[in-house]
Amino acid sequence: MGWTSISSTVTELANGDLQVVSVLRPEVASPPPPPPTSLLVVDGFDAPLSGWSTYAGSFRSNLSNLEVGTAGLDLLGRTAEVFPPDQFSEATIASGTRADTQLQVFVRRTGVNRYGFGYLDTGEWYLKYDGGPGAPMMATVPGPLQVPGDVLRVEARGSVIIGLRNGVELLRVTDARLTSGVPGVALASAVAFWTPVFAEWRGGGF
């Protein structure tokens, strides 16, 4: 252990010598630097859409909502940042979202493939290794209908993929086919006019 002098006193002795008395305390180590802040991106869709790449369909920001304007598959990825392999995608369903719109949040989109979590009109929540129509489900579970205000979240932690609704874990699978990529949102819309889908999106890394 090192020592640090904090004060010294000099006294002249009777014989003319000088005596130096110092008060010492243990050396205090500098505190370690804080851990790095994990990446976190939040989009409340209250400004023109920026930082996203549209892979299918058409999207826009309007009245603090993400809106979709085409029927069929619509796919949007967050590409302005580089996300670490361990990542999440989370979105809040907007007020006015049609009940027949099948919504999905996804992580690790690479090429045409991604890990998606969402709701099926059959009354089931699912985790899917998704590359388009006909892609097989990895897991499903019966559950309540998606409703405005619900928060959908999918996480990729190593080879573990987790789907959560309103903070409650519904599904968990192990799959190592995708190890990195882009997070975002996807949906299947039944109408070809602008309609709200999400009120906020959050994505980041662990």
Give per-residue pLDDT as tens, 94-129. Answer: 999 999 999 999 999 999 999 999 999 889 999 999
| SS3 category, 65 | strand
More confident residue, 11 or 118: 118
More confident residue, 184 or 136: 184
CB distance 184 to 127 below 8 Å: no
What is the mean pLDDT of the segment spanning 133-153? 92
In a 10 Å sphere around its CB, with 0-12 CB exposed, 13-18 middle and 19+ buried, how is residue 90 labelled?
buried
pTM assigned to the model? 0.81
pLDDT of residue 121: 85
d(CA 83, CA 39): 7
Consecutive H or E run containing 88: strand 87-93
d(CA 44, CA 170): 25
Q: Find, among 95, 71, 93, 76, the residue nearest to 183 by Cα.
A: 76
